[in-house]
Amino acid sequence: MLVGISLENKFTNTSKPKDCAEEMSALLMEVAAERCKRSYAKVFGYFAPRLRSYALKQMGNEALAMELVQDTMTNVWQKAHLFNSEKGSPSTWIFTIARNIRFDMLRKLQNRKEDICSDDLWPVLCEQTPDQNEVSLDQQVTLQQVGQLFNKLPDKQKAVIEAIYIDGKSQQEVADQLTIPLGTVKSRTRLALQRLKDMLEDHD
Amino acid sequence: MINYHPTDKQLRQFAEGNISSALALVAAAHCDVCSKCQAKVDDVNLELASDIENIKAHTFSDPAFDKMLASITQLPVLDAPVQKSPRIELDGRFFDVPRPLQRFVKKTGNWSKLLGKVWQAPVDLGEAGMAHFIYMEKGGRVPEHTHRGTEFTLVVNGEFSDGLADYDSGDLIVMDDEHIHSPHSNADDGCLVFSIVDKPLHFTSGIARLLNPFSHLFFK
């Protein structure tokens, strides 16, 4: 596979970044148009070692760093046709791909269930095909529902709940106002909330 | 006109990728409609990319890289999937949403009435938090509340006020436990917003206080 492809090339050693932006750009277009492995090898030779240094700093681990390099450079090979020199330099494009992959890798390492992925945030590459596993959402409790259920409470409980949660009174104030013991206010509140909770769950 | 932007620090963290998922999502949606902030992000990208170019790297041939190169060039080309632009439909009206939010249009649950003229539809963001699209008709008002955690709101379409300021399409609003507000819209076409909270709201007045004991039910 490697016949005719050498990692040693002039870019790696001598060129200044700005001098080679145009050349890298041209190489990427050759990769896009003709699947030119020789051109790709030059791009790889220039960016892969730099990406490794960047990735080592970011991930602090050689294996993860190499994974980041591999995933980034794989995208460069497979999606070279998405590179647009009018939008930016090859190095910016490749940096943003690496940034995206790192973002997703870090979330995977934290064992976070897929929530928001880099393709949503930074449309550097194509958007991924939409996830077909739609999540069915739990029913919502609305204020109207709570209001209806509230009306079903026994009058004594309703009076206590209304005074506390709507008028904003303290339990002691409610006890004084209704001339009932504080303990009764507390137990009515607890019972009423429990009842509302039960009704809400039945409602689902 | 957009008046409320992410801070420069938040935009830099966004460009670096060192940012929470929730803030990243609303920042991305904001940048999609705010060319000023997008330009700032582009500048940071450029700066970070040149850091990579100027990095000291081993330039000698490395067998691990040879192997990697060989395996990569065996892979097929990938086509970019067709981009769809799903829109939010509500009561016969269609709303365009910023590109970063489009994938979540499909993950949006049913609309339900929160109050007389306020509608909401939940959006599942996994572990990033609970989000809602909220639509206020003209004259609609969300009960006064404060926040147990942080609330990020992006104005998708329309205008609203909350007693603290007036907002327009594209504005990004960050609220926490230091803010009490009561969003309401007086715009003829109402206002559609996208809002993420990491902890339940705490309603501070009127009958809406009844919701507080059950606020965890909003965030299942």
Annotated domain spans of chain B: 8-73, 88-217
Q: Which residues of B touch A115 (CB under 8 A)?
A: 21, 125-128
Is B194 in contact with B154 (CB distance < 8 Å)?
yes
Does the CB of B57 have a partner CB in chain A at under 8 Å?
Answer: yes
* Per-residue model confidence as pLDDT tens digits over B144-184: 888 888 999 999 999 999 999 999 999 999 999 899 999 99
Say which DSSP state B216 is in: G
> Is this prediction's ipTM beyond 0.95?
no
Report the pLDDT value the prediction gives residue A83, as an integer from 0 to 100.
Answer: 92
Q: Burial-class residue A136 by CB neighbours within 10 Å (0-12, 13-18, 19+).
A: exposed
- Is residue B219 scored above 90 in pLDDT? no
B149, B198 Cβ separation under 8 angstroms? yes
Location of structure tokens 């990579």: B52
Q: Please report residues of A whose CB lies closer than 8 A to that of B56.
A: 53
CB contact under 8 A, B77 and A81: yes
What is the average pLDDT across B88-105?
90
CATH code for the domain defined by B88-217: 2.60.120.10
The contacts of residue B88 (CB under 8 Å, 6+ apart) are B94, B95, B97, B105, B108, B133, B156, B192
| First-last CA distance in chain B | 35
pLDDT in tens, chain A (204 residues): 444 444 444 344 445 555 688 899 999 999 998 899 999 999 999 999 999 999 999 898 999 999 999 999 999 999 998 898 888 899 999 999 999 999 999 888 887 766 788 888 877 774 333 333 332 233 345 666 777 788 888 888 888 888 887 777 888 888 998 888 888 888 888 888 888 777 776 755
Contact B103 A144 (CB under 8 A): no
Chain A's closest residue to B21, CA to CA, is A116
pLDDT at B77 over 70: yes
What is the model's pLDDT at position A9? 44
How much of chain B, in percent, has pLDDT values that exceed 90? 54
Is this structure's pTM higher than 0.80? no
Mean pLDDT value across residues B7-36: 95
CA distance A98 to A111: 20
B206 and chain A in contact, CB less than 8 A: yes
Measure in Å the smallest separation between the Cα of B17 and chain A Cα atoms: 6
Extract long-range pairs of B215-218: CB within 8 Å, 24+ residues apart: B217/A141, B217/A200, B218/A140, B218/A141, B218/B130
| Domain edges within chain A | 10-115, 125-203
Contact A91 B52 (CB under 8 A): yes
Q: Are B150 and B213 in contact (CB under 8 A)?
A: no
Structure confidence at residue B215 as a pLDDT band (50, 70, 90): low
Task: Report how far residue A154's alpha carbon sits from residue B25's, in angstroms, rounded to the nearest whole number.
Answer: 46
Is residue B113 classed as helix, strand or coil in its secondary structure?
strand
Closest-CA residue of B relative to A158 is B210
**Same CATH fold, A125-203 and A10-115?**
no
- CATH topology assigned to domain A125-203: Arc Repressor Mutant, subunit A (1.10.10)
- In B, minimum Cα distance to A104 occurs at B17
Nearest Cα to B171, choosing from B144, B147, B195, B202? Answer: B195
Say how far apart CA B205 and CA B209 lie, in whole Å.
Answer: 6
CATH topology of domain A10-115: Rna Polymerase Sigma Factor; Chain: A (1.10.1740)
A128, A129, A121: which is closest to A102 by C-alpha?
A121
Nearest residue in A to B28, CA atom? A121
